[in-house]
Structure 1
């Protein structure tokens, strides 16, 4: 019944927004200009440029302008604007799930693939990217294995940065921010700047940008009166050099670097004997995380008479060093010590693509070749439990992929895609008295089929079937022998139908999609007694599950100066077959627990947003964004439930072509919620969500 009510509420929101469009006086513009208001968004989600309305799948695109207007600063905030997408952020982890497809805790890979300028960001620890100088972000829901390969069984998020062109532009922005209810009243600050334009007319272009974001956070460690336990210190920079020696040839080199130095002493017990109040923790360690990363991407594009060619060569280096109080208390009697963890990952990839020329031919095709290598080293040191583990993982992957579409009668489009994917993994772990090594291969066939029909020039319906997989790996954290070290890949089949519609001379867009996803060989924790003669926590391909639901999105310009965006997603994700072996309540014996029929954890029942913005011709503007996240279970037994919550953001200001002044607030009603929660031996361990934050931002443009 609750889910039915949520569906009705979501549809009511959409209906009210649509009614507002119909009742409002249409803007007095000529038809050609009105068509440019909405819908003409170019995307590269299908590996070639196309209009978003032409893609037969559920996709959300936020342009750089929309990201700026909604004050979306990082990937976590962006997921709040995309239906059925949720980031389970817990200190160093940033696990993005789409449509209820999740990964187990301690997995280094997310089920959602994140790309920046066509280069994969392999480890999920780096997925909460700061969004700086972005042209657009594309969120593809559902498995994308045929074009993107492994670790895209939930979906793909593409971040496309802004490239320099003939227009010379520059900006400088600075702001102050404050958590009014925090014990630390020191204001935070942010600085950003960027410039781009031609170096040699019609030949060479350069763009540079950078950002600094620093604040003390809102968490206090009562053990040592440290009011910077959740501090933030982010610095990043990017440069892009673009060369067009000929009209049909483009060479672009992009490099970026960032360093994040954050306090992550943010866990507290909400129940039990170690309970503390909101935003107060008590632990005898000042937890921290330092991330350092850099990447280089060389992109070569050549437009021949009969085809287009693209080559993308990329390298990404990522390091994460963090220290966490393992028991999250200051009690020495129960102290399990602090764990120092290091993640060091170097990733190289090369992709070649050939595609048909855009034109009136009914046949379109794409052919690609992909290769990558990845070297990871994970170190974990905890002297109290005598842990000094080092795990190395080497992975190579090669793939041949293609996709073709044939159009019948100008309206019926049939698409087939296929990827042949081959991987080899080599893993080795050493610890006190332990030395384990193993290797494995994965050979996958990943198909996709879709059919779409253009009912009118502005409306289409579609159906798609696609397969995805999440790579297997190594149980670096808890393995004691070879038997508990390796686990296999996980698979999904996605079945989806949808409609994309435009109304009122393209001033209103309404998209709807329904989906059903089967999950096979789902990776899950299990306790086993192996050749070590000790119970070991192992990752097994032990579960079968499914998810189903829908997404509804609306975008409208009801009158001059007004913009309305709305989205709603509902997901029902549960285990069909999963019997887990684990400790009994007093840790004296292993018992079997049947979780079949239980809801998958960390999957909101629904989520959505409603944004309303008005801009007056004089330059004054106001905007309100309401984001709502449904309730979810945080334990596999479905006994611990997180209540739904809503967050309201407001922005008011004055903007001209030369400068802007903006007063803003996030979570302005100071809604209390948990960013993440765990069942910690019967007690509830939580990371509090961000409280109310206010700020002032000044920007100058040249």
Structure 2
């Protein structure tokens, strides 16, 4: 379907949007007419979303940018924090910081395998491995959330979008800060950084250290057991910046991060509907589904002391060299990363010692990228040419144990090794046409080769390779200095791979790449001398060869999930962003996203014989799970001068999302979730004191629920029955913070 017919079908759905989801946006629009001419402008930020420094208001793609003020104000230190402030980005985290599942614009992905649909980049370097992307964020200066496929310029699984994390660089002046905080539930935070010149004009350095310690969401019902949901992170980094000549800059950054988490929070919810049909077509046996809204009630949380949760040690090293050649700048990025992490879960979530699920992962990757970017010299043609090489080695060992039967569980002890080799060449051409039109064409060629071996199949080694072409085309019109209109079409691709579960058939081991075409039209505008920013985008996505989680057709009852190219889907939506400074000292922001994502053609093998979907398991037309149809972020802060040279500030934010279906059947859902955060403080010079309250109204709606298998003891043996694993929400928390910046 073309873009215009898609938009014609889409507009009526927007008109029918529930009024409670649009109220904040309507109020923000009304605000525009009331802004006086004396107001200050909104914060100015430069982004590198297209591999060159640009004004985000002149970048023809939809993106959310969190600058230094927004990051500090909202205490953004995780990808979950990013997601709640970038509508359209959703992060499902049912196992704590292990195995997160990020998605943008409804392109939800199964939580298995090492490659999500959203690529995360730290200073231009791809972060490998699903359990690695949930890193603790420290000393970050800017966060760019790029919506829509970014394969053409970024590559590596930016199928639905990319998140670009940019850390602080050392400058030519001495500066730094020391900050600390304490709060309820054992919250302790400390950070320190210092940077400045070592050799004036030639060599500068920056060092940072951060600690974040939290005792947990819930007390453990077992005496002496670990707190439930406890998280502790320590991070340190050293950056050297050399500028031996005016044309040459070299940046070396070495960082280390250590995470020590307790048991992930969670509880089992029993199924209550949809028995499977027997040979006579009559419902019989156990229920297979949970029907209705997921409750927020949390039974007693318990985890045995020997289960520590999640541990991670990671080293990251990157050397970036920029050399100005005159007509173009040559950039080289060389990176090497090493990580070991171990996950253990008390699988029964009770005081009983029934079963443990665990995994030990050892991974390392290295990459080299070379890029030539034309310098802006006023010519109508600008261009980019680049090439990259990437290798990822990932080894895992399952550590599942059955305590009732005193044996390693089926699949436990299995070791797997997977190697990814990737080569890519890419380029971009932009040409300024008459009437302030600019046409841009990007193209990437990427070849991925993967090899896989497992002790579960000692005589079998799997290997495959895929070649992917991912273009992007855009036409933009700078109608005025303050208004940009654009339209684009981009292809996204995510590599194929191998399913690692033990109990699946040989024919279920491999899956191919998946692709999407995303069509987008948008407008970026500024008003009243830059004091108001208003942006909007409409998008339509056709998703083919979709990678979905299926249940093995073999005679297995656990460890039998695999990934298959079995579906086609469609997502369409609207994105709005507003920012305004109506009076001096007042900063207001609002963002709204509408996402309508549904299966267009999919027959789920797990539903063949349940009444709601028999006989073929057809779920076409149902919404994709674990994504919200509506998301709203609204925030504001007012700063005013007080006595004795002190400034006072008061701020808050409202983070709201509509309900999410827990899985493909759409029979169960987590309710709409709204959180209000507030802060108040004093500031003078470099000193700042803040009282912050998160989840002010103590909303306990479950953020995540997934279909899973619960271990139970039957006649002295451990069996696994279908149940829903629910992640409970944390309650109200507060911190008192002090910061000194110099």
Q: TM-score range by the shorter chain?
A: over 0.9
**Residue 737 of structure 2 aligns with which residue?**
697
**Residue 178 of structure 1 aligns with which residue?**
184
CA distance in 1 between partners of 2:18 and 2:322 (Å): 45
- Contact 1:265/1:287 (CA < 8 Å) preserved in 2? no
What is the Cα deviation at residue 675 of structure 1? 2.3
Task: Assess, with a 3 A threshold, how the Cα gap between structure 1 residues 287 and 265 changes in structure 2: closer, same or farther.
Answer: farther
Task: Assess, with a 3 A threshold, how the Cα gap between structure 1 residues 7 and 197 changes in structure 2: closer, same or farther.
Answer: farther
**Residue 114 of structure 1 aligns with which residue?**
120
What is the Cα deviation at residue 556 of structure 1? 0.6
- Contact 1:268/1:276 (CA < 8 Å) preserved in 2? no
SS in 1 for 2:378: coil
Task: Assess, with a 3 A threshold, how the Cα gap between structure 1 residues 141 and 284 changes in structure 2: closer, same or farther.
Answer: same
2:49 to 45, 48, 60: 45
Task: Assess, with a 3 A threshold, how the Cα gap between structure 1 residues 364 and 10 changes in structure 2: closer, same or farther.
Answer: farther
What is the Cα deviation at residue 267 of structure 1? 1.0
Task: Assess, with a 3 A threshold, how the Cα gap between structure 1 residues 278 and 374 changes in structure 2: closer, same or farther.
Answer: same
Give the structure with the larger strand fraction: 1
**Residue 671 of structure 1 aligns with which residue?**
699
SS in 2 for 1:599: coil
Structure 1 portions without partners, runs of 5+: 29-33, 180-186
**Residue 183 of structure 1 aligns with which residue?**
none
SS in 2 for 1:697: strand
Length-normalised TM-score, structure 1 = 0.92
What is the Cα deviation at residue 617 of structure 1? 2.8
CA distance in 2 between partners of 1:88 and 1:412 (Å): 40
**Residue 85 of structure 2 aligns with which residue?**
81
CA distance in 1 between partners of 2:267 and 2:560 (Å): 28
What is the Cα deviation at residue 442 of structure 1? 0.7
1:314 aligned onto 2:335: yes
- Deviation string, structure 1 residues 288-318 (Cα, Å, up to 9, x no partner): 1101111000000011122111000011112
What is the Cα deviation at residue 74 of structure 1? 1.8
**Residue 441 of structure 2 aligns with which residue?**
416
Task: Assess, with a 3 A threshold, how the Cα gap between structure 1 residues 565 and 358 changes in structure 2: closer, same or farther.
Answer: same
SS in 2 for 1:671: coil
CA distance in 1 between partners of 2:562 and 2:86 (Å): 34
What is the Cα deviation at residue 630 of structure 1? 1.2
- Deviation string, structure 1 residues 548-590 (Cα, Å, up to 9, x no partner): 101000011101000001100011111111112237779xxx9
What is the Cα deviation at residue 279 of structure 1? 7.0
**Residue 27 of structure 1 aligns with which residue?**
38
What is the Cα deviation at residue 527 of structure 1? 3.6
- Contact 1:60/1:82 (CA < 8 Å) preserved in 2? yes
CA distance in 2 between partners of 1:133 and 1:528 (Å): 45
**Residue 380 of structure 2 aligns with which residue?**
362
Aligned residues: 682
- Contact 2:608/2:617 (CA < 8 Å) preserved in 1? no
1:461 aligned onto 2:485: yes
- Contact 2:101/2:116 (CA < 8 Å) preserved in 1? yes
2:171 to 144, 165, 176: 165
CA distance in 2 between partners of 1:249 and 1:109 (Å): 35
2:509 to 485, 488, 492: 485
1:405 to 430, 436, 459: 430
- Deviation string, structure 1 residues 203-241 (Cα, Å, up to 9, x no partner): 110001111111211223324463612211110011100
CA distance in 1 between partners of 2:559 and 2:270 (Å): 29
What is the Cα deviation at residue 492 of structure 1? 1.0
CA distance in 1 between partners of 2:589 and 2:682 (Å): 21
1:646 aligned onto 2:664: no
Of 418-427 and 143-152, the range deviating more from structure 2: 143-152
**Residue 727 of structure 2 aligns with which residue?**
687
CA distance in 2 between partners of 1:368 and 1:547 (Å): 31
CA distance in 1 between partners of 2:725 and 2:150 (Å): 35
**Residue 295 of structure 1 aligns with which residue?**
316
What is the Cα deviation at residue 664 of structure 1? 0.5
**Residue 280 of structure 1 aligns with which residue?**
300
CA distance in 2 between partners of 1:225 and 1:686 (Å): 24
- Contact 2:178/2:193 (CA < 8 Å) preserved in 1? yes
SS in 2 for 1:297: strand
SS in 1 for 2:26: helix
CA distance in 1 between partners of 2:166 and 2:303 (Å): 41
**Residue 445 of structure 1 aligns with which residue?**
469
- Deviation string, structure 1 residues 424-482 (Cα, Å, up to 9, x no partner): 10001113x75432100010111100001111110011001001111111111235453
Task: Assess, with a 3 A threshold, how the Cα gap between structure 1 residues 624 and 6 changes in structure 2: closer, same or farther.
Answer: farther
Task: Assess, with a 3 A threshold, how the Cα gap between structure 1 residues 146 and 247 changes in structure 2: closer, same or farther.
Answer: same
